[in-house]
Amino acid sequence: MEEMIAQDRPPVEADLQRFCLLANQAAYDLQGVRNSCILTSCALVEFLRLQGLQAQVFRAEAHAHCRHAAHGAAVGWNGDGTRRPKSDGWHGHLAVTCGNYVLDPTLDQLDPGGIPVSPAVFLKPDGYDTTPPRWQQRVWHEWTEGDCTIRHARHWKQFGWKSKPAARESKWRDLVALMIELASPEDFDRLVAGGAVELIEEM
């Protein structure tokens, strides 16, 4: 799942924003939950591959805090595990890397104080791709959204999800098919031109 075909065209941020929201929408339509990071991230990687882009999943950590209230939420953190995927209670969080960008299609499971956070696409800060040892400070990307401050980093562990049921192709391929069905006309045209639609039908 992590090894993808060579990148045929550079990623464009507007495309990635669209693909990230598409994965989020399709996953919620299919699953009815927001905390499906393994399933959704794996499906997004395959959809990006079908669009001629190189991508892979990675283990991330994200925090959101309301700036004017004592509310916060976290995913992928070494905390009490209260935010767990619905499948089997994995404590981690997955996101996607594509070129110089990070895509987090399930970041909206963060809702500090009942304020939902949007799925995110951002340029990696310098050093973001380096997995630090546990005792070393991680490289964080920070931004604001409404009343929230959000921080995102690569987790010091890069394992733990591959054995989960949601990481199997048999689990996420229906989500890829739904993403293709819901894709915008220009994206669908590229999928047809690249033979992706036939590929999905043969799975």
| d(C-alpha 109, C-alpha 118), whole Å | 9
* Length of the chain in terms of residues written: 203
User: In this structure, what is the dihedral angle of CA atoms 75, 80, 86, 92, given to the nearest 10 degrees?
Assistant: 40
Whole-structure pTM value: 0.86
Query: With 60 as the cut, is the pLDDT of residue 154 above it?
Result: yes
3 state DSSP class of 129: coil
CA 120 to chain centre: 8
How does the average pLDDT of the chain come out, rounded? 86
3 state DSSP class of 41: helix
What was the pLDDT predicted at 22? 97
User: CB atoms < 10 A from the CB of 165, how many?
Assistant: 11
3 state DSSP class of 76: coil
Query: With 70 as the cut, is the pLDDT of residue 170 above it?
Result: yes
For 59-118, the pLDDT digits (tens) are 999 999 988 777 788 898 764 444 444 445 678 999 999 999 999 999 999 888 788 899
Concatenate the DSSP letters of all residues of 130-195 into one string.
S---TTSPPPEEEEEETTEEEEEEE-S---SSTTSGGGSHHHHHHHHHHHHHH--HHHHHHHHHTT
Comparison of pLDDT for 95 and 199, the residue scoring more: 95
What was the pLDDT predicted at 81? 42
Q: Which of 175, 176, 169 is nearest to 30 (CA)?
A: 175
| d(C-alpha 94, C-alpha 76), whole Å | 8
Helix, strand, coil percentages (3-state) for the chain, rounded to 5, are: 35, 20, 45
In terms of Cβ atoms closer than 10 Å to its own Cβ (0-12, 13-18, 19+), residue 102 is: buried
Tokens of 23: 């994965």
Instruction: Please state, for a pLDDT cut of 90, what percent of the chain lies above it.
Output: 58
